[in-house]
Amino acid sequence: MPEYSVPAYDVIVIGAGSVGTPAAFYLAKAGLKTLVLDGGASVGQGSNKKAIGGIRATHSDTAKIRLCLRSIEVFSTWKEVYGDELEWTQSGYVFIAYRPEEERTLKELLQVQKTFGLNIDWLDAPALLKVIPDLNPDSLLGGTFSPGDGNASPLLALHAFYRQAVACGAEFHFNETVTDFIIQKGRITGVRTPCGHYAAGLVINAAGAAARQVSLLAGVDSPVTPDCHEAAITEAVARFLEPMVVDIRPAPGSANYYFYQHYTGQIVFCITPRPPIWGDHTEETSDFLPMVSRRLLGVMPRLKNIRVRRTWRGLYPMTPDGFPIVGKAQEVDGLLLAVGMCGQGFMLGPGLGELLARMASGSSAAGDEEILQILSPYRAFSGQEKLK
Ligand SMILES: Cc1cc2nc3c(=O)[nH]c(=O)nc-3n(C[C@H](O)[C@H](O)[C@H](O)COP(=O)(O)OP(=O)(O)OC[C@H]3O[C@@H](n4cnc5c(N)ncnc54)[C@H](O)[C@@H]3O)c2cc1C
């Protein structure tokens, strides 16, 4: 007598976040009976709503480039195809260089990015100042510009995926945390929550910053560690800045920082603390704003007059090498891992969601094998992503 009762699902997704929600849409669209369980009260309440909305294909490896190129196709055509406003803006990304070190790194990466056919080029200082007239020109060497990249609202996007997933038949249960797996003869056959138990042929771990705890429930160790990052938003002002600006120079207390002007006029920005702040604390600190403001004003003095409206703190689900972990668990059957998205889960979501749906329905597309090899849960984790 099985421990669970009907209904049985083809797939259970743990986590209605940046990855789980688009995945649910593509799973249901592929005709799979899909249940999404999330401990939060609605979609996107984990790291997704903390993201600032950057979406780029300009990475340093095939897997993320391929997935994000597909995500950009989805985000940029969503309104036309499904009608929802995602506040998608295709205004590009600029990685700036004020020192020869960054110029060298960015130019080296450019060679790799060019081999993938990415629309990205090096602009010298005068050309870059035409794209971003308000950049501080002192010591500016230039930067890379990729006009095909962009940004969108993480919450609007996730709600759009949610509505379409439900329209395709996916079920979502909120306020329902997965507390255990049901494992029979080395195979996961379902999950338990405080509200009951559910049977499925396949379970996808898309639990974001909590992914390691969830995998451990099945005896699988996924090396995902939450890493605290803060962000802020200003008042809305008339449009004066098009691309996302990324400065990868390190400074005391921080690594890179990035900012852009959202569709609705606000400047949104965040910074990567150095050394990293490990843990799952999501209360804002008083260190963040002075640290990031100094750096922002250094590259764009004009920002000194803009007022900050709110700061917040969220979690990057980090892996040891800065690349996501995607693939079937080997320790137990029936578990698919889609975890460790680091600082890029929002932009990876749609491309990865489609890949997960192909894996769940036993199909594949050109390039899937290579992506899965790079993101394998069983890789050595010895490399280091250059544009984390
Ligand atoms: C300040 C900041 C800025 C960022 N900016 C960007 C950006 O510009 N672009 C970008 O692409 N990314 C950005 N990110 C990163 C991005 O937010 C994450 O990579 C992404 O949200 C991770 O997606 P996920 O689906 O893995 O996790 P989440 O979106 O956190 O979803 C995981 C879900 O799982 C649920 N869950 C966890 N455990 C359980 C359980 N046991 N049972 C049921 N449900 C469970 C959680 O409630 C949560 O809803 C940023 C992050 C931060 C903090």
Residue 256 Cβ contacting ligand 1 at under 6 Å: no
Residue partners of 303: CB distance under 8 A and separation at least 6: 267, 296, 297
Give the model's pLDDT for residue 388: 60
Q: Could you give the C-alpha distances from 379 to 319, 320, 327, in angstroms and in order? A: 12, 11, 11
313, 46 Cβ separation under 8 angstroms: no
Alpha-carbon distance of 219 to 68, in angstroms, equals 31
Residue 20 Cβ contacting ligand 1 at under 6 Å: yes
- How does pLDDT run across 228-263, given as a tens digit for each residue? 999 999 999 999 999 999 999 999 999 999 999 999
246, 93 Cβ separation under 8 angstroms: yes
Residue 50 Cβ contacting ligand 1 at under 6 Å: yes
Q: What are 383's two structure tokens?
A: 């490399």
Overall average pLDDT of the 21-30 stretch: 98
Q: pLDDT-derived band of residue 386, with 50, 70 and 90 as boundaries?
A: low
Overall average pLDDT of the 100-104 stretch: 97
Q: 3-state class of 204 per DSSP? A: strand
- Of residues 116 and 339, which shows the higher confidence score? 339
Q: pLDDT-derived band of residue 4, with 50, 70 and 90 as boundaries?
A: very low
197, 182 Cβ separation under 8 angstroms: yes
82, 164 Cβ separation under 8 angstroms: yes
317 prior amide bond cis, ω within 30? no
Alpha-carbon distance of 101 to 206, in angstroms, equals 37
> What ligand 1 atom has the least distance to the C-alpha of 228?
53
What residue's CA is closest to ligand 1, atom 37? Answer: 207
Overall average pLDDT of the 354-383 stretch: 96
Residue 324 Cβ contacting ligand 1 at under 6 Å: no
Q: Is the pLDDT of residue 7 over 60?
A: no
Residue 48 Cβ contacting ligand 1 at under 6 Å: yes
Burial class (CB in 10 A: 0-12, 13-18, 19+), 174: middle
What residue's CA is closest to ligand 1, atom 3? Answer: 51
Residue 150 Cβ contacting ligand 1 at under 6 Å: no
- CA neighbor of 247 nearest in space, from 151, 119, 132: 132
320 prior amide bond cis, ω within 30? no
Q: Is the pLDDT of residue 62 over 50?
A: yes
Using a pLDDT cut of 70, give the percent of the chain over it.
Answer: 97
Q: What are 207's two structure tokens?
A: 């639990």
Q: 3-state class of 286 per DSSP? A: coil
**Can you say whether the dihedral through the CA atoms of 80, 81, 85, 89 is positive or negative?**
negative
Give the model's pLDDT for residue 383: 79
Between the CA of 127 and the centroid of ligand 1 the distance, in Å, is 36
Q: Is the pLDDT of residue 5 over 60?
A: no
Residue 229 Cβ contacting ligand 1 at under 6 Å: yes
- How does pLDDT run across 293-351, given as a tens digit for each residue? 999 999 999 999 999 999 999 999 999 999 999 999 999 999 999 999 999 999 999 99
Overall average pLDDT of the 159-182 stretch: 98
Between the CA of 248 and the centroid of ligand 1 the distance, in Å, is 23
Between the CA of 362 and the centroid of ligand 1 the distance, in Å, is 26
Burial class (CB in 10 A: 0-12, 13-18, 19+), 333: middle
Residue 19 Cβ contacting ligand 1 at under 6 Å: yes
Residue 47 Cβ contacting ligand 1 at under 6 Å: yes
Between the CA of 229 and the centroid of ligand 1 the distance, in Å, is 12
What residue's CA is closest to ligand 1, atom 48? Answer: 46
Between the CA of 49 and the centroid of ligand 1 the distance, in Å, is 8
What residue's CA is closest to ligand 1, atom 51? Answer: 51
pTM of the entire structure?
Answer: 0.97
Give the model's pLDDT for residue 384: 74
Alpha-carbon distance of 141 to 128, in angstroms, equals 9
Give the model's pLDDT for residue 2: 47
Q: pLDDT-derived band of residue 1, with 50, 70 and 90 as boundaries?
A: very low
What residue's CA is closest to ligand 1, atom 29? Answer: 17
Give the model's pLDDT for residue 162: 98
Arithmetic mean of pLDDT over the chain: 96
Residue 262 Cβ contacting ligand 1 at under 6 Å: no
Q: Could you give the C-alpha distances from 355 to 132, 172, 203, 217, in angstroms and in order? A: 36, 20, 15, 25
